[in-house]
Amino acid sequence: MDGNLKMQKYNNLIGGKLVEPSTKKYFENINPADRLDVVGLFADSGKKDIDIAVKAARQAFLAWSNMTPPKRGKLIFETGRLLLERKEQLAKVIVREMGKTMPEAIGDIQSSADVAYFMAGEGRRMYGQTTFSELDKRWALTKRYPIGVCGLITAWNAPMAIITWKLFPALICGNTVVLKPSEETPLTAHLLGEILKEVGFPDGVINIVYGFGQETGRALVAHNDIDLISFTGSTQVGREISTECGKRLRRYSLEMGGKNGLIVMDDADIETASQAVVTGAFSTAGQRCASTSRVFVHEEVYDKFLKMVLEKTRSLKIGPGTDPETRVCPIISERHLKSIMAYVDGAKKEGAKLLYGGHILTIGAYTKGNYIEPTIFTDVNPNSKLAREEIFGPVLAVFKIKSLQEGIDMVNDSEYGLVASIFTENLNNAMYALDVIKTGVCYVNAPTFGSESHMPFGGLRGSGNGTREPGTQAMDVFSNWKTIYADYSGISQNSQFKEKK
């Protein structure tokens, strides 16, 4: 974007129009690689703005839900086409406002387009079931129907992908949407809104309201005319949403934190495993719910593995996402940078051994940005904060294990249950681990990452409430099943109250 757009004001998209916030307030969107670079000023919205957006979504619901799924799918498909056509332009915006590298940002847009194409196809595959009734002359079938108005609250670390993982399933099912994107990455949402309008989505079907979680997000969750909340973010906030939705008997889908573990067995390909750990722990500066936070290494290969991890970590270049050589990008904000350092300092006090990194970078090219070294600890107390709490930064804890079972037990000994991986050449051990590791996603001989666009993603315990997005499983989040009977017997009959013959 041009320098003359740096202080541009961005308003909410409500009912197909750009609307100033009722508060008349705006907040700054800051480039994490250069805190002097203000990407733009965005509407700091309040409860009244949410009220207006929900009303617009409700008014648009009847016509949108009555449009056939294949027709809705055509609009989503065209959105995917434009996402790919503008992939590089959109990726540059993500690099600027979120900080990740260009390849990572390109992947974000590609994932969004993939979900668009997949969900567009679901418009022709929105299958119900037809079966036999136990009664004569009666059909029995099921059919999906939309839920209503969906509130989507999304995270900043994959700013386009996380929105579209929720948005496209919601739309193909016939719902209308009020989106509250992260305050850290609002420009990505704005540009998506422009594409959606260009494609021709009816006014009010997608409404975008900017603001902060405590005010705008809370108002969306508490709104009486919202039928579903889909949230990606911290476990703490997810618990609050769960409580609020539970009181209102409202459906909700939560994708929350992770403390992901990776096991390296003595028969593993150590070269591949060490690269997977470095990639899993430090890509996007560890700011991924699926990042590798803990690694459990068999004592027979521990020293060799640790040496390889250190060599690979030392070679990683830290810098802005605009630099093609960068492998570790900046941290999203100064506040989050301080939070990561609090964990690093706390780990030292708890007796963990700092093997590498652990410093904020403030000299030279790092002066204006939020940079921290990739950090590796050993001799970690399994009950410490470092071992148990999500850090959401480039911090890795390495543990030594004596057996496969010990590694599995340590992976499972967590409040979270999102992603895990095991490196082994033993098929029996791999299959056993897949069965007993308690996570929503599990890999063999691969880094800990999210799922592909056609596969479900989500976790257990503190990582989620059992729902899954995207994949076909997202259809169960964003639609209701209706059971239908058609009786042509000419008599009143009921399968539950039968006369004795």
User: pLDDT tens digit string along 406-420?
Assistant: 999 999 999 999 999
pLDDT at residue 1, rounded to an integer:
39
Residues labelled as active-site residues: 255, 289
Distance in angstroms (rounded) separating the CA atoms of residues 491 and 488: 8
Is 260-444 CATH 1.10.460.10? Answer: no
Residue 336 has pLDDT above 70, yes or no: yes
DSSP string over 376-389: EEES--TTSHHHHS
Tell me if residue 316 falls in helix, strand or coil: coil
Q: At what angle do helices 186-199 and 161-172 cross, to 10 degrees?
A: 40
Give 473's contacts (C-beta < 8 A, 6+ positions apart). Answer: 456, 467
Token pair 């929720």 is found at: 166
**Within 13 A of 421's CA, how many CA atoms are on the CB side?**
28
Distance in angstroms (rounded) separating the CA atoms of residues 31 and 365: 15
User: pLDDT tens digit string along 430-487?
Assistant: 999 999 999 999 999 999 998 888 999 999 999 999 999 989 999 999 999 999 999 9
User: Which residues in 233-352 belong to E strands, given as ranges?
Assistant: 251-255, 260-264, 292-298
Query: Average pLDDT in the 307-334 region?
Result: 97
DSSP string over 67-130: S-HHHHHHHHHHHHHHHHHTHHHHHHHHHHHH---HHHHHHHHHHHHHHHHHHHHHTT-----E
Q: Please give the structure tokens belonging to residue 422.
A: 């095991």
- Say which CATH topology domain 9-256+464-483 has: Aldehyde Dehydrogenase; Chain A, domain 1 (3.40.605)
Beta bridge partners of 461: 416
Is-contact 19 76, C-beta < 8 A? no
* Burial classification of residue 374, based on how many CB atoms lie within 10 Å of its CB (0-12 exposed, 13-18 middle, 19 or more buried): buried
Q: Please give the structure tokens belonging to residue 155.
A: 């995270």
DSSP state of 159: T
pLDDT at residue 495, rounded to an integer:
77
User: pLDDT tens digit string along 46-99?
Assistant: 999 999 999 999 999 999 999 999 999 999 999 999 999 999 999 999 999 999
Q: Please give the structure tokens belonging to residue 95.
A: 């690099």
User: pLDDT tens digit string along 91-143?
Assistant: 999 999 999 999 999 999 999 999 999 999 999 999 999 999 999 999 999 99
Q: Where are the domains of the chain?
A: 9-256+464-483, 260-444
Give the angle 353-316-375 at the CA atoms, nearest 5°. Answer: 20
Q: Could you tell me the pTM of the whole model?
A: 0.94
DSSP state of 237: H
Is-contact 130 64, C-beta < 8 A? no
pLDDT at residue 422, rounded to an integer:
98
Number of C-beta neighbours around residue 148 at 10 A: 18
Q: Please give the structure tokens belonging to residue 201.
A: 């989505």
